[in-house]
Amino acid sequence: MTKLKKLLFLIFVFANVVFSQKDYDWLLDKVEKDSFMYFWELYDDKLGLIPDSSREGSPCSIAAVGFGLTAFCIGAERGWVEKNQAYLRIYKTLKTFLYKLEHKNGFFYHFLDMKTGERVWENEISTIDTALFLAGAIVASEYFKGTNIEEMVKKIYDRINWLWALNDKDVLCMGWKPETGFLPYYWDTYSEGIILYALAIGAEKNSIPKECWYKWKRKKCRYGEYEFVACPTGSLFTYQFSHAYIDFKNIVDKYDGTNYFENSKIATLVNKIFCEKRKHKYKTYAEGFWGLSACIGPYGYKGYGSSPGALHDGTVAPSAVGGSVMFLPEVCISTLKSMYDKLEYKVYGKYGFVNGFNLDYDWFADEFLGIDTGIILLSIENYRSGFVWRYFMNYPAVKKFVNLLFETKD
């Protein structure tokens, strides 16, 4: 090959890289902004609540509110909305949570009526959803540091009696109902519950002992050449939700030296390989799509996942892929791009990617879920700017949690 040919080839490769990068940037911008609009448009001005789903008649999910509060900060930072507008909306939401909503020892009900804020359908006081709400509130507290928002978040945080949620055990309980008391389920394995432990251990008031961190089971799963601390269901969201807030990149667990960021990277890869290995059986996987996580499928909402749970029927969740952009950007962005290019109008709508689809059943969800739309937004933003990590990791309670249980990666 002559020098000129070599040079032309290099220019071609470089141009391709630059072009595709710009192409991806355009897609990420679009997905982020459309996902943000879920929270901005569906926010109810009466109490500042956000629905669980875009479906008509959906109740509010307090976890979706948490993602929404973070989304408003991202929106303000990216200039999609005025910072003051975001402030006023967050203020209203926090006022509702601080003064109007019913709570038990500071913990809130999972689902609320959008207009009255009252508990609906006898649902439970939820520890994890309170934590996911609080995580979003903490980002807002740091972003609007020195304002009323910071004060209100502190009051909400200090009011929570984390010790109560232990129910005299050494792991945190999933919830409580006035009718039946504590639920018989505990956060005793690797899961999205990591964020709950972080906030419960790091709390300034009524914190749980740091020893509780060592009590949940770290069951390792081997998949081919990979080994990782696994959530029993294998649902990808369990490796994402806590990571959207806690930056585990440069820290390892003092307990066994696990780096949970790398762990989630492996879990994402395993999820992808799991689907690829079954592409001869499922049309969805054969088209190069993957992403097994809890989502709506042709037969309702299911906890889809790869190993070790391995519940799947060809339904994939775009949020499983979008939520892992912060771990494996190249792989995940190209899959999102492929979904968008091949199935645009079927899987992409007003608020970004729909909740799930299954080519084997020629089925496409027609709704968006707050937490799944939220994880896509937060993950992409973390990949692009580290915005959520930066603000969340700066909060004193989070610093306390990290200092107590983690050490810097070599």
Partner 1 sequence: MKNPRKRYIVDKKFQLKYVLYPTIILIFVAIIICGIVYLTTWFSVIKEFSDVKLHQDLTTIVRMREYEGVRTRTVVETIPILKEEAKMLSKHQLKVIDKILVKTNTRVVLVVASILIAIFIFGIFITHRIAGPLFRISRELDKIINGDLNVNFNIRKKDELKTLSGKLQILVEKLKSEKQSLKKYIEEIKTTQLSDNQKKIIEKIENQL
Number of residues binding to partner 1, judged by CB under 8 A: 25
* 303 binds partner 1, rule: CB under 8 A: yes
* 268 binds partner 1, rule: CB under 8 A: no
User: Minimum Å distance from CB 121 to partner 1?
Assistant: 6
Query: What does the alpha-carbon distance between residue 291 and residue 240 come to, in Å, rounded to a whole number?
Result: 12
| Stretch touching partner 1 by CB under 8 A, among 22-30, 294-302, 322-330, 349-357 | 294-302
Site string for partner 1, 182-221 (x = CB under 8 A): -x-x------------------------------------
Query: What does the alpha-carbon distance between residue 204 and residue 196 come to, in Å, rounded to a whole number?
Result: 14
First-to-last alpha carbon distance for the chain, in angstroms, is: 44
Q: Is there a contact between 201 and 401 (Cβ–Cβ < 8 Å)?
A: yes
User: Minimum Å distance from CB 310 to partner 1?
Assistant: 13
Name the β-bridge partners of 229.
220
* 49 binds partner 1, rule: CB under 8 A: no
* 308 binds partner 1, rule: CB under 8 A: no
For partner 1, which residue of 98, 232, 259, 279 counts as binding (CB under 8 A)? 232
* CA 254, chain centre distance (Å): 24
Query: What does the alpha-carbon distance between residue 187 and residue 289 come to, in Å, rounded to a whole number?
Result: 31
* Nearest CA among 84, 50, 148, 130 for reference residue 351: 50
**DSSP-H helix ranges across 160-256:** 194-202
User: What are the CB-based long-range contacts (under 8 Å, 24+) for 228-231?
Assistant: 228/263, 228/266, 228/267, 228/270, 229/190, 229/258, 229/260, 229/263, 230/190, 230/267, 230/307, 230/308, 231/189, 231/190, 231/191, 231/192, 231/267, 231/305, 231/309
User: Minimum Å distance from CB 85 to partner 1?
Assistant: 30
* 345 binds partner 1, rule: CB under 8 A: no
User: Minimum Å distance from CB 198 to partner 1?
Assistant: 18
For partner 1, which residue of 54, 70, 130, 233 counts as binding (CB under 8 A)? 233
Query: What tokens does 401 get?
Result: 């949690």
For partner 1, which residue of 35, 53, 242, 358 counts as binding (CB under 8 A)? 53
Name the β-bridge partners of 295.
302
Nearer to partner 1 by Cβ, of 235 and 284: the residue is 235
* 272 binds partner 1, rule: CB under 8 A: no
Q: Is there a contact between 81 and 398 (Cβ–Cβ < 8 Å)?
A: no
Which residues, 93 to 112, sit near partner 1 by CB under 8 A? Answer: 111
User: Minimum Å distance from CB 309 to partner 1?
Assistant: 8
| Stretch touching partner 1 by CB under 8 A, among 68-76, 138-146, 229-237, 263-271 | 229-237
Query: What does the alpha-carbon distance between residue 286 and residue 337 come to, in Å, rounded to a whole number?
Result: 16
DSSP state of 310: -
* 174 binds partner 1, rule: CB under 8 A: yes
For partner 1, which residue of 132, 275, 294, 388 counts as binding (CB under 8 A)? 294
| Stretch touching partner 1 by CB under 8 A, among 18-26, 98-106, 121-129, 336-344 | 121-129
**Binding interface with partner 1 (CB under 8 A):** 52-53, 55-59, 111, 120-121, 123-124, 128, 174, 183, 185, 232-233, 235, 294, 299-303
